[in-house]
């Protein structure tokens, strides 16, 4: 199926009480809580593995002058020390999958410079620490703000080549200059680390068959079908000779969209030692060997009339990545579609620094873009003495303001109004006016918007003689609940209970699928499964001699009128199979497709210490059909909590002398704990988007983080009257504002 026409009425519309949408518990939950769901590093499919450990560069720029691996090679248990001197030949870099151990040049701190393989993990680590690497150290460039002058216009993203880097409409400069009310502010956001629970891990092994070599990787990977050509390029194999198996993933947040060096090194070493090699990054290595969300500088200019109607919008973003890389943060992309204004520009600039490789992290673009833009909107509302919700209502566009096409659905204003009512937004006071004991209390609001893409996916289904529907696809579940929603879709389409549906994911031997990323996983994979099930329904109905148009599927049978034929009979001893495929089509060009929401945050700021504590938070969202009320809510509040961390604490601090992240462990890189998120809730307004996909659903995995931190930042302003434009908003920054104000009062 290609999405060229809005989907009409579907079997999922027939049963409002059906399986889809129910808050079904995770079907893989019991396996996970009892330790029977093997993650990559725990797989026992490959026998007798050796253990690898990565030696990383301890300088951020320069040249390796010598590597002395003698002690490491002589250490107990060492099998191989691989360096640039003896690494097997590799092919071309593809996307962000780089050949490893290439030459003497060091581009960033944490770049792998050697790989030690030993009989045990402990031996590999001990030997790795014996590898002596000498460098001719160069002065590194590490700070975006110091190197902003070197920024250039990057090439469009390889993953979305048709999306422009810059955009312009009307006459921004003229309109902004003439605007009676102007906001011109610069916000900065820090480097953030994915900090997913499961580290990057791979077990790799080679096989030689009649038609040549192939490699299998048990590897935590969100998009295994994307990984095949990329790893294949580096390993000089055709994509189909790279098999990636990744049935369970302990979180990724974008860090596992592509294979990291640990996968490549495991594969290279496994070839040399002719034995499976397994490796996981340490938590400390995750910060530098792994990717991160780049820091940004963002300038937002808003020109409005005295009623708050926007006439000019500019959103410019500067970000950085490693030398030789092309990833830029698309902070301003969503601004192209969010609010009406006839004169507008967006612009992205990139700097290459001696820092690790920047890449996608949960809602790349939107997450940090809305941290800046939604605060600038709050500043405009404040200047106009206008309620920030009213400001957004006054700038609600009737169509996508840049593409000039209609929205498929858009209930942003509904989200704002409904959320405000449930949250008690009317209790918001003037900045600095609400006090509760030692706490200055404030409320903040922000819009949330995230694009909804559909990616090509396919699925295979088989109804067995036991009446069990087996679903197979190279889709992944990175902890989001994919197994569960696919169980629900398959079950409802065939009229089967969840226990009669078996979903098998995470193996590139299965039909190709989008994988998990960019909020496209559920919609894309779910739609492929929908199509496969629809095809299976046709086949079953035909076999039963029932008109597929009038057939209903329930209680393990296909029914029409008073006829009912059991599915087990129809499956027969050999079972019956079908395939399904979904592709994006014309509708993504004809309609602007986003999911929307509104965040409401209440914070307390300690008047003495400047400590900021979230008191409560509420999100009101729309995401088309909700496939599972429980996992959808979990995604939403998970994203919101992510946003709270972005607002209040997440910060990989760069020491420019060494160009590295100083606080590279989870003791000093802070993410929210339970105590930081006491009362966070989310709900969804009913919506069906018949232009998005046959499920009428939209992406939810990233919507929760979009704008979430901005609502917290705006609440801090409302609590204190102090506007901080440098994320994260830590107590020292509040304290500075409090001290300055108290000094002013005294003088």
Known catalytic residues?
702
* CA–CA distances in Å: residue 517 to residues 227, 353, 453: 13, 26, 10
Closer CB to other proteins, residue 76 or residue 497?
76
Query: Which whole-number Å values give the CA distances from 519 to 32, 295, 487, in the listed order?
Result: 23, 22, 19
Residue whose CB is less far from other proteins, 404 or 745: 745
**Three-class SS of 424-450:** CHHHCCCCCCCEECCEEEEEEEEEEEE
Alpha helices in 402-546 (DSSP H): 412-423, 482-494, 521-544
Can you tell me the distance from the alpha carbon of 198 to that of 141, in angstroms, rounded to the nearest whole number? 31
End-to-end CA, the chain: 71
Angle, CA 143 vertex, CA 137 and CA 147 arms, to 5°: 100
Residue whose token pair is 């109905």 = 541
- Interface characters, 89-128, with other proteins (x: CB under 8 A): ---------------------------------x--xx--
Q: Which residue has the tokens 């400069």?
A: 173
Site for other proteins in 217-256 (CB under 8 A): none
By beta-carbon proximity to other proteins, the closer residue of 568 and 730 is 730
Residue written as token pair 């410079």? 113
Stretch that binds other proteins, among 11-19, 315-323, 586-594, 723-731 (CB under 8 A): 723-731
Least separation in angstroms between residue 125's CB and other proteins is: 6
Site string for other proteins, 255-284 (x = CB under 8 A): -----------------------------x
Query: H helices of 591-730, where?
Result: 629-648, 708-720
C-beta of residue 516 within 8 angstroms of C-beta of residue 250: no
Residue 672 makes contact with other proteins by CB under 8 A: yes
Give the C-alpha separation, 543 to 491, whole Å: 20
What sign for the dihedral angle of Cα 500, 505, 509, 515? positive
Q: Is 653 in the site for other proteins (CB under 8 A)?
A: yes
Cα torsion through 299, 447, 626, 6, rounded to 10 = -70
Q: Does 436 bind other proteins (CB under 8 A)?
A: no
The nearest distance, CB 640 to other proteins, in angstroms, is 16
Cβ neighbourhood burial of 674 (10 Å; 0-12, 13-18, 19+): exposed
> Which of 102, 421, 657, 679 contacts other proteins by CB under 8 A?
657
| Residue among 160, 188, 203 nearest 50 (CA) | 203
Whole-angstrom distance, CA of residue 417 vs CA of residue 240? 51
Per CB under 8 A, the segment of 204-212, 419-427, 507-515, 646-654 that binds other proteins is 646-654
Q: Which is nearer to other proteins, 30 or 76 (CB)?
A: 76
The SS3 call for residue 183 is strand
Q: Which one among 105, 186, 611, 681 touches other proteins, defined by CB under 8 A?
A: 611
- Shortest distance in whole angstroms from residue 707 CB to other proteins: 22
How far apart (Å, rounded) are the C-alpha atoms in residues 687 and 597? 12
Tokens of 288: 């530098």
Site map (CB under 8 A) of other proteins, residues 524-553, x = contact: ------------------------------
Residues 52-71, one symbol each (x = binds other proteins by CB under 8 A, - = not), give ------x-------------
Query: Total number of residues binding other proteins (CB under 8 A)?
Result: 39
Q: Which residue has the tokens 């990724």?
A: 252
Among the residue ranges 95-103, 197-205, 660-668, 680-688, the one whose residues contact other proteins (CB under 8 A) = 660-668
User: Which residue of 260, 300, 648, 700 would you call a contact of other proteins, by CB under 8 A?
Assistant: 648
Q: Which is nearer to other proteins, 560 or 671 (CB)?
A: 671
Binding residue for other proteins, selected from 676, 681, 685, 725, defined by CB under 8 A = 676
Q: How far out from the chain centre does Cα 241 lie?
A: 28
> Could you give the count of Cα atoms lying within 13 Å of 710 in the half-sphere of its Cβ?
29
- The smaller minimum CB distance to other proteins, of residues 468 and 666, is found at 666
Of 547 and 665, nearer to other proteins (C-beta) is 665
Residue 675 CB, nearest distance to other proteins (Å)? 4
Q: Which of 137, 670, 723, 741 binds other proteins (CB under 8 A)?
A: 670
Tokens of 725: 């434009």
Among 658, 683, 721, 725, binds other proteins (CB under 8 A): 658
Q: Which of 23, 609, 679, 726 binds other proteins (CB under 8 A)?
A: 609
For residues 710 and 734, which CB has a smaller minimum distance to other proteins in the complex? 734
Contact status: 305 vs other proteins (CB under 8 A): no
Tokens at 12, concatenated = 């999922």
Distance, in Å, from the CA atom of 736 to the CA atom of 466, rounded to the nearest integer, reads 69
The one segment of 21-29, 141-149, 504-512, 664-672 that binds other proteins by CB under 8 A: 664-672
Nearer to other proteins, 129 or 168 (CB): 129
Q: Strand, helix or coil at 270?
A: helix
Least Å from the CB of residue 63 to other proteins: 17
- The residue within the footprint of other proteins, chosen from 309, 465, 731, 741 (CB under 8 A), is 731
Nearer to other proteins, 59 or 496 (CB): 59
Q: Pick from 9, 139, 14: which is nearest to 552 by CA?
A: 14
Selected binder of other proteins within 31, 37, 71, 129 (CB under 8 A): 129
Closest by CA to 444, choosing from 605, 295, 333, 330, is 605
Among 10, 188, 538, 730, binds other proteins (CB under 8 A): 730
Among 2, 240, 499, 668, binds other proteins (CB under 8 A): 668
- Residue 377 to residue 593: CA distance in whole angstroms: 22
Rank residues 563 and 736 by Cβ distance to other proteins and give the closer one: 736
> Looking at beta carbons only, is 283 or 347 nearer to other proteins?
283
Exactly one of 74, 662, 679, 726 binds other proteins (CB under 8 A); which one? Answer: 662
- 219 φ/ψ angles, rounded to the nearest 5 degrees: -145, 135
Q: Pick from 209, 562, 667, 744: which binds other proteins (CB under 8 A)?
A: 667
CB 594 within 8 A of CB 338: no
How big is the chain by its Cα radius of gyration, in Å? 27
Q: Are 228 and 240 in contact (CB under 8 A)?
A: yes
- Among 613, 615, 616, 741, the residue binding other proteins under the rule CB under 8 A is 613
Cβ proximity of 280 and 254 under 8 Å:
no
Report the C-alpha gap between 270 and 50 in whole angstroms.
8
Q: Is 664 in the site for other proteins (CB under 8 A)?
A: yes
Q: CA-to-CA distance for 460 and 510, rounded, in angstroms?
A: 8
- The two tokens of residue 113 are 């410079």
Nearer to other proteins, 131 or 314 (CB): 131
Binding-site member from 44, 674, 745, 746 for other proteins (CB under 8 A)? 674
Q: How far is the CB of 729 from other proteins (least distance, A)?
A: 9
**Is residue 470 close enough to count as binding other proteins by CB under 8 A?**
no
Q: Which stretch binds other proteins (CB under 8 A): 19-27, 62-70, 354-362, 605-613?
A: 605-613
- From the list 438, 509, 550, 566, which residue makes contact with other proteins (rule: CB under 8 A)? 438
Which parts of this chain interact with other proteins (CB under 8 A)? 58, 76, 122, 125-126, 129, 284, 438, 608-613, 648-649, 653, 655, 657-658, 662-665, 667-668, 670, 672-676, 728, 730-732, 735-736, 739
């Amino acid at each position: 199926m290609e999405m060229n026409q809005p989907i009409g009425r579907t079997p999922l519309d027939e049963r409002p009480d059906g399986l889809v949408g129910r808050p079904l518990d995770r079907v893989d939950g019991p396996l996970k809580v009892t330790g029977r769901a093997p993650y990559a590093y725990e797989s026992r499919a490959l026998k007798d593995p050796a253990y690898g450990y990565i030696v990383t560069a301890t300088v951020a720029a320069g040249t390796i002058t010598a590597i002395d691996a003698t002690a490491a090679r002589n250490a107990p248990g060492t099998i191989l020390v691989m360096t640039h001197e003896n690494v097997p030949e590799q092919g071309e870099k593809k996307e962000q999958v780089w050949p490893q151990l290439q030459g003497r040049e060091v581009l960033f701190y944490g770049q792998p410079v050697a790989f030690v393989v030993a009989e045990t993990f402990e031996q590999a680590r001990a030997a790795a620490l014996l590898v002596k690497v000498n460098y001719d150290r160069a002065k590194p460039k590490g700070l975006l703000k110091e190197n902003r002058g070197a920024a250039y216009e990057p090439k469009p993203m390889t993953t979305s080549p048709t999306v422009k880097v810059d955009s312009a409409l009307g006459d921004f400069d003229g309109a902004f200059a003439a605007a009676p009310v102007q906001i011109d502010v610069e916000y900065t956001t820090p480097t953030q680390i994915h900090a997913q629970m499961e580290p990057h891990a791979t077990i790799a092994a080679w096989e030689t068959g009649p038609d040549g070599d192939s490699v299998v990787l048990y590897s935590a990977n969100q998009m295994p079908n994307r990984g095949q050509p990329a790893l294949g390029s580096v390993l000089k194999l055709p994509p189909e000779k790279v098999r990636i198996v990744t049935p369970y993933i302990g979180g990724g947040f974008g860090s596992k969209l592509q294979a990291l060096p640990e996968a490549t090194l495991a594969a290279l070493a496994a070839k040399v030692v002719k034995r499976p090699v397994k490796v996981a990054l340490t938590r400390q290595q995750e910060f530098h060997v792994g990717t991160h969300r780049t820091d940004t500088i963002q300038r937002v200019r808003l020109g409005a009339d005295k009623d708050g109607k926007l006439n000019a919008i500019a959103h410019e973003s500067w970000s950085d990545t490693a030398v030789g890389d092309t990833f830029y943060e698309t902070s301003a992309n969503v601004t192209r579609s969010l609010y009406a204004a006839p004169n507008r520009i967006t612009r992205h600039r990139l700097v290459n620094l001696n820092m690790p490789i920047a890449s996608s992290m949960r809602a790349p673009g939107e997450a940090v873009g809305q941290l800046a833009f939604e605060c600038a909107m709050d500043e405009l509302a404040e200047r106009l003495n206008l309620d920030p919700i009213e400001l957004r209502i006054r700038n609600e566009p009737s169509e996508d303001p840049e593409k000039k096409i209609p929205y498929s659905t858009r209930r942003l204003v509904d989200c704002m109004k409904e959320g405000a009512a449930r949250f008690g937004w009317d209790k918001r006071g003037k900045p600095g006016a609400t006090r509760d004991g030692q706490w200055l209390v404030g409320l903040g609001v922000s819009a949330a918007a995230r694009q909804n893409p559909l990616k090509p996916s396919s699925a295979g289904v088989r109804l067995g003689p036991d009446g069990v529907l087996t679903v197979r696809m190279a889709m992944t579940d990175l902890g989001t609940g994919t197994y569960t929603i696919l169980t629900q879709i398959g079950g409802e389409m065939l009229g089967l209970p969840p226990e009669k549906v078996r979903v098998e994911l995470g193996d590139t031997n299965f039909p190709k699928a989008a994988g998990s990323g960019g909020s496209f996983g559920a919609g894309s994979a779910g739609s492929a499964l929908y199509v496969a099930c629809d095809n299976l329904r046709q086949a079953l109905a035909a076999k039963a001699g029932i008109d597929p148009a009038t057939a209903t599927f329930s209680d393990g049978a296909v029914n029409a009128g008073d006829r009912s034929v059991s599915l087990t009979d129809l499956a027969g001893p050999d079972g019956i199979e079908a395939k399904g495929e979904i592709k994006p089509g014309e509708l993504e060009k004809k309609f602007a497709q986003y999911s929307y929401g509104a965040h409401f945050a209440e914070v307390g700021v300690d008047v003495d210490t400047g400590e900021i504590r979230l008191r409560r938070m509420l999100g009101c969202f729309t995401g088309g059909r909700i496939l599972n009320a429980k996992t959808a809510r979990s995604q939403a509040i998970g994203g919101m909590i992510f946003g709270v961390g972005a607002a209040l604490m997440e910060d990989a601090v760069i020491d420019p002398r060494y160009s590295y992240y100083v606080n590279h462990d989870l003791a000093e890189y802070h993410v929210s704990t339970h105590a930081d998120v006491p009362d966070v809730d989310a709900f969804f307004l009913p919506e069906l988007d018949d232009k998005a996909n046959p499920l009428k659903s939209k992406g939810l995995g990233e919507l929760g983080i979009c704008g979430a931190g901005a609502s917290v930042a705006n609440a801090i302003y409302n609590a204190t009257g102090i506007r901080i434009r440098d994320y994260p908003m830590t107590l020292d920054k509040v304290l500075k504002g409090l001290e300055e104000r108290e000094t002013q009062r005294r003088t």
